[in-house]
């Protein structure tokens, strides 16, 4: 007898947490995992006393699902998802709904959505953010794919998602890979936020010479103001943790950051679409540089820093870093939303950018007070060219700019690497200038490759070529 509302396949941390969350919200959940011992362990452990039913074979799980069937796959992204789709689809009928809740690449989701639509199966790629805790108590969910699936999963997904001011942090994103795309950009922004915070930490520790406890107090204080966010909050928590010997544990954590790929996917996508999102790229490269730990140790013994300068009162230094962090964060989000805007144009998606900001307010890793300001900005100007030009952010940047510039100058003077703070400032200065120096690049391209150029004194679109080596100008090639 069909008796389950949804089947969850994959019982690692995310699958277990989501199954328990769904059960808490009154949904009848059936679960399966390739290694069936994990099903038994789950039922005997975290799921003991719940209505969750476990199965040792996929056909058994499918047979118990109410129609149209809904199955959520929570397995490792990549070939595992294709393998699983291959196993599950022969068991499904037209009209059933198959959901991938993992971190799949949006192009894989596009391909899978098309392939399953041809068999009448409604496929969904849902980005889910918030880690284990979010999945258990309320994640941010970004579903996209076959729009016919949305009415089938809406109640369930919005039921288990985080809520802010009563609004669920989950709404339909768009067709094909749109949901996984938005999750990818979320993760790219998350990389940027983490890097900016790490740079502020470096300036406070190595620049100002504060103790871990003093830096902890600074972050705890910052969490009460415009920077208030999950990542600032957990940074303050981390800095308060002591090792067994009483020393701060953070000082014993090797400074070598891993990455799983969603940050570099975002940076590559920005490169491919020609969208300037350098801060996310810097955040990815900074992790790559951190991974060269042994080489850095060797370099530290032989590479000079050159003359360094230092001289500032601590409190003013802290205020400057605060404003630099805030201003760079505004630029980082502006870059992320530029990428989303261009992706919508490029892939034919109707992305509701303000709605996406709303979805990220709760449950997910980049949740922050700041996202309310982004949502408000989109409410005020539904299609601003960029967040930077929207009045609120323009004023905030004008206010914080002097301290941001001084922070970057100070970091350079101190020999402390702050690539994200620096790159964001260069982006801002490039974006706000009507004239840059790309005229010289275009002339160089025309010199060695006859790539032509447009003239400032002629209408756009007319192409000119000059024989630069001989100093001779050619005519309109347009």
Q: Are strands 6-9 and 29-32 parallel, antiparallel or unpaired?
A: parallel
Which 8-state DSSP code applies to residue 69?
P
User: Is residue 143 close enough to count as binding ligand NBP by CB under 6 A?
Assistant: no
Instruction: Write the secondary structure of 388-418 as one string of H (helix), E (strand) and C (coil).
Output: HHCHHHHHHHHHHHHHHHHHHHHHHHHCCCC
Closest distance between ligand NBP and the C-beta of residue 266, in Å?
A: 15
Structure tokens belonging to residue 143: 């579903």
- Residue number with CB closer to ligand NBP (10 or 174): 10
Count residues binding ligand NBP (CB under 6 A).
22
User: Is residue 12 close enough to count as binding ligand NBP by CB under 6 A?
Assistant: yes
Q: Nearest residue by C-beta to ligand NBP?
A: 102
Taking the C-alpha atoms of residue 309 and residue 306, their distance in angstroms, rounded to an integer, is: 10
Which 8-state DSSP code applies to residue 475?
E
Closest distance between ligand NBP and the C-beta of residue 388, in Å?
A: 30
User: Which single residue is written with the structure tokens 């919005």?
Assistant: 158
Structure tokens belonging to residue 220: 């705890």
Taking the C-alpha atoms of residue 46 and residue 213, their distance in angstroms, rounded to an integer, is: 36
- Residue number with CB closer to ligand NBP (13 or 241): 13
Closest distance between ligand NBP and the C-beta of residue 420, in Å?
A: 23
Angle at 17 between CA 161 and CA 185, to 5 degrees: 55
User: Is residue 115 close enough to count as binding ligand NBP by CB under 6 A?
Assistant: no
- Residue number with CB closer to ligand NBP (17 or 332): 17
Closest distance between ligand NBP and the C-beta of residue 34, in Å?
A: 3
Which one from 87, 110, 175, 190 is the annotated catalytic residue? 190
User: Is residue 77 close enough to count as binding ligand NBP by CB under 6 A?
Assistant: yes
Closest distance between ligand NBP and the C-beta of residue 72, in Å?
A: 10
Which one from 38, 110, 183, 282 is the annotated catalytic residue? 183
User: Is residue 102 close enough to count as binding ligand NBP by CB under 6 A?
Assistant: yes
Residue count of the chain, please give it.
478
Active site residue 190: yes
CA distances in angstroms from 394 to 335, 390, 391, 406, listed in the order given? 15, 6, 5, 19
Binding segment toward ligand NBP, per CB under 6 A, in 70-78, 344-352, 434-442, 443-451? 70-78
- Residue number with CB closer to ligand NBP (207 or 336): 336
Q: How many other CB atoms sit within 10 Å of the CB of residue 347?
A: 17
User: Is residue 21 close enough to count as binding ligand NBP by CB under 6 A?
Assistant: no
Which of 33, 216, 266, 368 binds ligand NBP (CB under 6 A)? It is 33
User: Would you call 9 helix, strand, or coil by DSSP?
Assistant: strand
Which of 4, 8, 11, 330 binds ligand NBP (CB under 6 A)? It is 11
User: Is residue 6 close enough to count as binding ligand NBP by CB under 6 A?
Assistant: no
Closest distance between ligand NBP and the C-beta of residue 92, in Å?
A: 16
Q: Are strands 97-100 and 140-145 parallel, antiparallel or unpaired?
A: unpaired
Taking the C-alpha atoms of residue 193 and residue 325, their distance in angstroms, rounded to an integer, is: 9
Taking the C-alpha atoms of residue 81 and residue 67, their distance in angstroms, rounded to an integer, is: 23
Closest distance between ligand NBP and the C-beta of residue 88, in Å?
A: 10
User: Is residue 38 close enough to count as binding ligand NBP by CB under 6 A?
Assistant: yes
Give the chain's end-to-end CA distance (angstroms, integer).
Answer: 71
Active site residue 183: yes
Number of H helices, E strands in the chain: 19, 12
Residue numbers 417-436 binding ligand NBP by CB under 6 A:
none
Residue numbers 78-97 binding ligand NBP by CB under 6 A:
80, 83-84
Q: How many other CB atoms sit within 10 Å of the CB of residue 475?
A: 10
Taking the C-alpha atoms of residue 405 and residue 401, their distance in angstroms, rounded to an integer, is: 6
User: Is residue 367 close enough to count as binding ligand NBP by CB under 6 A?
Assistant: no
Q: Which residues are 465's β-sheet partners?
A: none
User: Is residue 137 close enough to count as binding ligand NBP by CB under 6 A?
Assistant: no
Catalytic residue numbers?
183, 190
Instruction: Name the residues that contact ligand NBP, by CB under 6 A.
Output: 10-15, 33-35, 38, 74-77, 80, 83-84, 102-103, 128, 131-132
């Amino acid at each position: 007898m069909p008796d389950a509302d949804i089947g969850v396949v994959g019982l690692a941390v995310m699958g277990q947490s989501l199954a328990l969350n769904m059960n808490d919200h009154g949904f009848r959940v059936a679960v399966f995992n390739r290694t069936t011992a994990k099903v038994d362990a789950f039922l005997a452990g975290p799921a003991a006393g719940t209505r969750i039913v476990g199965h040792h074979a996929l056909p058994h799980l499918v047979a118990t699902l109410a129609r149209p069937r809904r199955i959520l796959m929570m397995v490792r992204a990549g070939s595992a998802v294709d393998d699983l789709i291959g196993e599950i689809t022969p068991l499904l009928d037209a009209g059933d709904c198959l959901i991938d809740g993992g971190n799949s690449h949006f192009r894989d989701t596009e391909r899978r959505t098309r392939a399953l639509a041809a068999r009448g199966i409604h496929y969904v790629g849902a980005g889910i953010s918030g880690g284990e805790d979010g999945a258990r108590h309320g994640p941010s969910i970004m579903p996209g794919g076959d729009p016919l699936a949305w009415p089938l999963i809406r109640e369930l997904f919005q039921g288990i998602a985080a809520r802010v001011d009563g609004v669920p942090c989950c709404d339909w994103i768009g067709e094909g890979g749109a949901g996984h795309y938005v999750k990818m950009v979320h993760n790219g922004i998350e990389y940027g936020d983490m890097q900016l915070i790490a740079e502020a930490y470096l300036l406070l520790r190595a620049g100002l010479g504060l103790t871990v406890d003093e830096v902890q107090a600074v972050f705890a204080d910052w969490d009460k103001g415009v920077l208030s966010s999950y990542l600032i909050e957990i940074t303050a928590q981390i800095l308060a943790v002591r090792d067994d010997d009483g020393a701060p544990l953070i000082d014993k954590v090797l400074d070598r950051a891993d990455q799983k790929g969603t940050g570099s996917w975002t940076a590559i996508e920005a490169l491919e679409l020609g969208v300037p999102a350098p801060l996310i790229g810097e955040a990815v490269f900074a992790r790559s540089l951190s991974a060269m730990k042994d080489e850095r140790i060797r370099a530290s013994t032989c590479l000079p820093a050159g003359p360094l300068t230092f001289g500032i009162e601590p409190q003013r230094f802290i205020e400057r870093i605060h404003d630099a962090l805030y201003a760079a964060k505004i630029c980082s989000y502006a870059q992320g939303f530029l990428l989303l805007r261009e992706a919508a144009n490029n892939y034919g998606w109707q992305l509701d950018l303000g709605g996406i900001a709303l979805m990220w307010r709760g449950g997910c890793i980049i949740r922050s007070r700041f996202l309310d300001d982004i949502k408000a900005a989109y409410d005020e100007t539904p299609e601003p060219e960029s967040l930077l030009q929207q009045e609120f952010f323009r004023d905030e940047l004008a206010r914080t700019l002097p301290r941001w510039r001084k922070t970057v100058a100070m970091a350079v003077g101190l020999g402390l690497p702050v690539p994200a703070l620096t790159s964001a400032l260069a982006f801002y200065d490039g974006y706000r200038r009507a004239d840059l120096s790309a005229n010289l690049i275009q002339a160089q391209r025309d010199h060695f490759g006859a790539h032509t150029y447009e003239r400032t004194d002629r209408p756009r679109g007319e192409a000119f070529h000059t024989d630069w080596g001989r100093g001779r100008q050619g005519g309109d090639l347009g």
